[in-house]
Structure formats: C-alpha cells, structure tokens
C-alpha cells in the first residue's frame, strides 16, 4: 500500500473561478516536475542481481525470515562475496534514486531487496530458483505485466494481480524510511514557506491546554496495492485555512502503523491541532505513499496552488471549506492518479468538539473513530 499520494490535500477552496484554479503548468509538465522515474534504475539492479543469483541466493535466504522479508541492499552486498561491478551498479542506482527524490542528504541508502511474500520463504530456502523483479513506473491500473528476470537473465512476464507461486525477489525502495524522510522534508519546506511548525507534544512550554482531535480507530477496505508493492505506507494531509492570515494551513501526519487493509488499528494518535485552523474546521485526506514522488516539488506546488485559490476567493469564508467536501477530488487532474502517491479517502469539514464514531470517508474506503481531547501543559 505504498501509494496514497499527497497530491490532493491542499486545495483549500473549490468555489474559485476555473481560471483561478488553473496554474501556469499543464498537467504533463506538473507530473514531470513532481513525479520522478525510478524504474530504469531498479530494472538495472534487478537484472544485475539475477545474473549473480547462484552466488547471492544462499546468503540471502539465510538472512530472511517471516518477520524480516527484506535486506538493505547496500549493507547486505557489503557482507557477501559479490563482484565489485554488482556493488557498483547497486550503489549508483541507490544514489541516483535518492537524488531524484531530493532526500540524498537525509538518507545514505534506500534500495532494498525484498521477498514479495512470506508464503515464498520456504521455497526460497529449499533452493527453488527465484525471479528478480521491480515495480514499474506509472499508473498500476495500466500495468500489463510485471517484468522479472531469472538467473540466466531471461525475461519473465508476471501477472500484475496474481501472486506468483515461484519466489520473487523485488528490488525496491525502503518505503518506511523514504516516507519518514519525505515527511520531514515537507514539514521543513512548509515552515520555510511561512507556516508555523507543528507543536512538540512533550514540551514544558506548552499552553495550559491544547485542543486536538484524537484518531482512536481506523479501518481501510482497500489499500490499492498490487502484490509487488508490498505493505502500505499511509499518511494524512490535514488542511484548512490559517487562523491568523488568509493562507492555507497544511499539516502532514505520518501513520506508520497503518500498513494493511481489512484490519482495524487503534493508534490513539493526535490527528488535528485545532489552534492551527480557522473556523474550528478542517479536512483530512488519506494518501498512500509510492516511490516516485519528489517531495519538495510536490509540497511547493500544492502550497502555491492553495495560496492562489485563496487569493482568488478574496476574504475566505467557511463556505469555501464546505465546498471542498464535494469538489476537491473531482477537480484533481486525472493524470495525477498514478503510481506516485495514491488517494485513499477524505474526510471533509471535521469540527473541533465533535466525536465521530465509525465515520466513513467520502470515498467509502476508510472508517474512523475520532474524539476531541485537551492536551494539558507540563
């Protein structure tokens, strides 16, 4: 479920005139800026590793378990007798991917080698020949097959939706570390754009009380992921209007526990800080991370668009936020619903002192229970 994208959350007002909603860039140009292509680098690494399978497989199989289905590729290759040419390919691809995503200063490695499913582990450890695959770029609904390589470098075309019986090792990025680094980068960039940083919950300088909304429970019907994409990495974009100026307020909230659909989670997580939102109302958009996002480009673009919309509206009123509920997702460019970050669900015009029990999102994909709470100062 790596794919819940950040793209949608920030359009604060949808009643603005169409010309105000438009930006100077066409959708294709926007995607070129915000979406980066990683498949070529992953493909090269997958093919390189496949050709070294007789050398690498035994060492890899001994490192994997049902609880740990992946290894950090850079670290693992440093412990095995892989040729320097293999290590060089992996390190160059890793660095290029981190640079494309703008997180090369945040992380020193990102690529991993992951067994596609725990159900394949026994076969791999018993010596069944694996295939080496990678996740394609683009919209997964348009994928025709998953390309994979065997130990002789021959190409195999795997079904997109049906998990293969043969073990498949996936060259992929570590989505959890990637998203954590990306969220840090986006928050820093929003501060640079003039937003106040998110409150620190354990500070002794906190106010006597801080009104928040707590996420008690959440359930996803569908996390949107094909088998090759692994577990989901979900985050929320809380959005509304700044209480002290006519500008958008965007808060990005990590949800690292939410990795599987069809399961109820009880995180007891602070979701909304109400002092940050005018009219004591805000929207929450749930997105699923995917590999191909340039975080700084994305958050810059979305903040600028939201600011342009507010400027076009003039003095914002609560009606602008209400209109968001029916118009936000429908007005998104279709080209953005791809394998960059996928829209999961949205909750519009949530109010400060309300409790929401088993409350369905606008898309009907997520169900949440929310409650108001007062964080007391130290």
Query: pLDDT by residue (tens digit) across 83-95?
Result: 899 999 999 999 9
> In CATH, which of 3.30.70.260, 3.30.1200.10, 2.60.40.150, 1.10.260.40 is domain 176-197+207-376?
2.60.40.150
Does 25 or 103 have the greater pLDDT score? 103
pLDDT for 115 equals 96
Using DSSP's 3-state secondary structure scheme, residue 141 falls into helix
Instruction: Give dist(CA 265, CA 368) in Å, integer.
Output: 9
Which tokens is 125 given?
């450890």
As a whole number, mean pLDDT of residues 185-206 equals: 78
pLDDT for 147 equals 97
Count Cβ atoms below 10 Å from residue 195 Cβ, excluding itself. 18
Does 272 or 101 have the greater pLDDT score? 272
Average pLDDT, the chain: 81
Give per-residue pLDDT as tens, 240-251.
Answer: 888 888 778 889
pLDDT for 298 equals 73
In this prediction, residue 332 has a pLDDT band, given cuts at 50, 70 and 90, of: very low
As a whole number, mean pLDDT of residues 24-40 equals: 64
In this prediction, residue 308 has a pLDDT band, given cuts at 50, 70 and 90, of: low
- Global pTM reads 0.81
In this prediction, residue 347 has a pLDDT band, given cuts at 50, 70 and 90, of: very high
In this prediction, residue 233 has a pLDDT band, given cuts at 50, 70 and 90, of: confident
178-192, 278-292, 313-327: lowest mean pLDDT where?
313-327
Using DSSP's 3-state secondary structure scheme, residue 308 falls into helix
Which tokens is 285 given?
């958009």
- Where exactly are the structural domains of the chain? 38-173, 176-197+207-376
Instruction: Give dist(CA 269, CA 215) in Å, integer.
Output: 5
Which tokens is 152 given?
């002789």
43-57, 313-327, 328-342: lowest mean pLDDT where?
328-342
Which tokens is 193 given?
């754009």
Give per-residue pLDDT as tens, 200-226.
Answer: 765 444 456 899 999 999 999 865 568
As a whole number, mean pLDDT of residues 33-60 equals: 89
């Amino acid at each position: 479920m790596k794919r819940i994208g950040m793209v949608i959350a920030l359009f604060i007002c949808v009643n603005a005139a169409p010309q105000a909603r438009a930006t100077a860039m066409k959708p294709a140009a926007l995607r070129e800026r915000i979406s980066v292509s990683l498949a070529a680098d992953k493909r090269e690494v997958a093919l390189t590793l496949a050709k070294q399978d007789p050398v690498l497989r035994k060492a890899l199989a001994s490192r994997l378990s049902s609880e740990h289905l992946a290894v950090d590729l850079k670290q693992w290759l440093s412990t095995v007798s892989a040729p320097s040419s293999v290590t060089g390919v992996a390190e160059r691809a890793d660095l290029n991917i981190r640079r494309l995503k703008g997180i090369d200063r945040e992380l020193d490695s990102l690529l991993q080698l992951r067994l596609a499913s725990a159900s394949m582990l026994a076969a791999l450890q018993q010596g069944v020949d694996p295939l080496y695959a990678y996740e394609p770029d683009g919209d997964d609904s348009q994928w025709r097959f998953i390309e994979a390589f065997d130990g002789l470098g021959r190409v195999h075309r795997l079904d997109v939706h049906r998990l293969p019986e043969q073990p498949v090792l996936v060259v992929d990025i570590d989505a959890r570390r990637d998203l954590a680094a990306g969220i840090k980068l986006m928050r820093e960039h929003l501060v640079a754009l003039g937003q106040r940083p998110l409150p620190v919950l354990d500070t002794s300088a906190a106010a006597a009380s801080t009104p928040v909304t707590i996420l008690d429970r959440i359930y996803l019907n569908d996390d949107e992921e094909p088998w090759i994409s692994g577990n989901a990495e979900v985050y929320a974009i809380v959005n509304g209007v700044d209480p002290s100026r006519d500008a958008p307020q965007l808060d990005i909230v990590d949800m690292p526990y939410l990795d599987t659909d069809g399961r109820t989670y009880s995180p007891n997580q602070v979701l909304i800080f109400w002092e940050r939102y005018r009219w004591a109302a805000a929207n929450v958009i749930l997105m699923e991370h995917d590999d191909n996002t340039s975080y700084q480009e994305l958050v810059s673009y979305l903040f600028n668009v939201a600011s342009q919309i507010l400027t076009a509206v003039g003095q914002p009123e609560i009606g602008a936020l209400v209109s968001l509920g029916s118009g936000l997702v429908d007005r998104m460019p279709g080209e953005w619903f791809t394998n960059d970050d996928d829209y999961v669900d949205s909750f519009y015009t949530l109010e400060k002192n309300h409790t929401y029990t088993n409350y369905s999102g606008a898309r009907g994909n997520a169900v949440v229970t929310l409650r108001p709470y007062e964080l007391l100062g130290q």
